[in-house]
Structure 1
Amino acid sequence: MTTPPCQSTPQRATPTWAVGDVTVHRIDEVVLPPETGPWLLPGATPDVVARHDWLRPDFADRSGTLRLASHSFALSVGGLRVLVDTGIGNGKTRANPAWHDLHTDYLPRLTAAGFAPDLVDLVVLTHLHADHVGWNTRAQDGGWVPTFPNARYVASRTEREFWAGYDMEEPRRQMFRDSVHPVEDAGLLDLVDVPPQGAEIAAGLRLVPTPGHTPGHVAVEISSGGATALITGDCLHHPVQFTDPALGSCVDIDPEQARTTRRALLSELADGETLLLGTHFPPPTAGRVRTEGNAYRLAPVPAGTPAP
């Protein structure tokens, strides 16, 4: 099942969060259409959503329809300008109509936040799905070239090796042709071994293994001045999964592993001060995990709020 076309988000000031001395910028791409929720998280029915008042109005509407978005996070650490995930991209041929042939102002937003493509030093890919690698490349002279020509692109070795041996359907092959292979061909993709304890790739920046959605999926931990934040990628798609970590995505490669990862991650973060930044969470996008009965909820932290 696919979802219909979506529109770019309205232009506004870049939302930011302070994590110690690090400022994390949310770079908006698109608001995903209402049909995305039922397709992506089929177990999150309106009845399920209605049981949790805290999801409304930010994360779901009155009818129980989930709100989702596509964005990246940009930050500077250790003198490096870093971009975490690159969204859907413009002008890409995609089977999902919501992602097909987009024309958004993502790059001007990124530039306005201080991360012009030529200035980006490090691109971290939580995993290799179409809505996380699209701006890896841009159209030029009838082909695709790296959008961030001076950057080191980083992905988990497990992730890349899994897809190298996967019997891909044509839409996924197309995504690799236009958004992954050009980066590899330019010699810009670095594969990182990510052990259970994680892998530091820059001062204050660590890849955390969060497998299940894909085998080599990673979350991204930011540490500065005694404060910590975690960018989810797709180990969590939406705060409704806090209410029941068993609620899985239709595109999880290993649903049982994904459930195990969600449970462990939420348990670890519960009632602590780590700021969780959701790659598909709509505004307010960020928050802290709090225990709620036998499960959890997200206590929102609006943009502009420093981490303690």
Structure 2
Amino acid sequence: MPGTPTPSWTVGDLTVHRIDEVPLPPATGPWLLPDATPEVVAGHDWLRPAFADTDGVLRLDSHSFAVVLDGLRVLVDTGIGNGKQRANPAWHDLRTDYLQRLTGAGFPPDAVDLVVLTHLHADHVGWNTRAVDGAWVPTFPGARYVTARAEREFWAGYAMDEARERMFQDSVLPVERAGLLDLVDVPAEGLRLLPGLRLLPTPGHTPGHVAVELTGRDRTALITGDCVHHPVQLARPALGACVDIDPRRSEATRRALLASLAGTDTLLLGTHFAPPTAGLVRADGDAYRLRAVPPAPVAPA
């Protein structure tokens, strides 16, 4: 609720805030990660109770991350949005207090300077816009919205169904028409957008998907986007999402990313991870586990 402390993590001299939108319903897990069966989940005790319930049903959330970098207010992904007509019942015509939470954390919409979109799926671009006088207008009119050129160009040539076309009409095209969407080329070594902010190519879920690396003094955090949807994929990296465009590439990306993080002090922040949301990647046999790092509440601005 507005006025409550914002869950946050300290990363060197940065403070990364989680801006909650909505918990996703229990049916999300079996749909999204169909091979993450209750039997699979039961084999990994560390997933319960935070990331799965006692029946092996996965817990997932929709939220964004916000941080001040180089004097700029930065938002990573914009969730599902309010009032959007969506085929997925869990995303359809929401009425959440997301913007109040964002403002309470010190990021009022008019003050946001940069919006990083890990990819262009409906649950990551929804608050790009909001309804004003019957039209969809940019929620963050003073911001530069950034996504990978490979991502936008892929969807430009994709035969969209009606639901995806509607999402582009209400959440992507208004930002483009306002001249606010910047497309960037992301090389293999990553792209530094700002001091302390680097985009890392993590293709597979979508062709232009990026993860977001944040570096503050001597500490680093990495925001997953959808290259990892749920911590069960640390234990079973071969588990893919039903909406991965290129499942083989998605798995290869996930394995490489987790191998690079294992045993380091890089904080992994999951875009759909239920609370406690973040942790350190540790080797566990021939795979990995997440050693949870709970957030610390930050009083409202």
With normalisation by structure 1, the TM-score equals 0.95
Partner of 2:99: 107
Matches within 5 A, 1:68-87: 68-87=60-79
Q: Which digits, 9 at most, give the CA deviation of each residue in 1:171-204, with x for residues without a partner?
A: 0000000000000000000001000000001111
Structure 2: which 5+ runs fail to align?
Answer: none
1:109-160 Cα distance to aligned partner (Å, 9 max, x none): 0000000000000000000000000000000111100000000000000000
Is 1:138 the counterpart of 2:130? The answer is yes
Contact 2:2 2:101 in 1 (8 A): no
Give the corresponding residue for 2:149. 157
**Which amino acid in 2 is paired with 1:241?**
Q
Matched, 1:281 2:262: no
State whether residues 224 and 268 of structure 2, in contact with CA within 8 Å, keep that contact through their aligned partners in structure 1: yes
Match of 1:255 in 2: 247
Residue 54 of structure 2, aligned match among 41, 56, 62: 62
User: CA, structure 1 residues 32+91, in 2 after alignment: closer, same or farther (shift >3 Å)?
Assistant: same
1:38-58 per-residue CA deviation (whole Å, 9 max, x = no partner) reads: 000000000000000000000
Which aligned segments of 4 or more residues in structure 1 are displaced greater than 6 angstroms? none
What residue is the counterpart of 1:124 in the other structure?
116
Q: Deviations over 1:194-233 (max 9, x none)?
A: 0000000111100000000000000000011110000000
Q: Is the 8 A contact 2:129 2:139 kept in 1?
A: yes
Q: 1:193 aligns with which of 153, 174, 185?
A: 185
Percent pairwise identity: 73
Correspondence for 1:304: 296
- Distance of 1:10 and 1:171 partners within structure 2: 31
1:166-181 to structure 2, matched below 5 A, reads 166-181=158-173
Runs of 5+ unmatched residues, structure 1:
1-8
Partners of 1:45 and 1:100 in 2: CA distance: 26
Aligned partner of 1:108: which letter? Answer: Q
* Two-structure CA RMSD over aligned residues (Å): 1.1
Report SS of the residue matched to 1:284.
coil
Question: Deviation at 1:10?
Answer: 9.1
2:279 maps to a residue whose letter is G
Aligned-partner residue type, residue 185 of structure 1: R
1:15 alignment partner, SS class? strand
Deviation at 1:304, TM superposition (A): 2.1
- Across the two proteins, how many residue pairs are aligned to each other? 297
Aligned to 2:89: 97
Q: Distance in 1 between matches of 2:2 and 2:50?
A: 17
Deviation at 1:244? Answer: 1.0
Closer, same or farther: CA 59–11 of 1 in aligned 2, 3 Å? farther
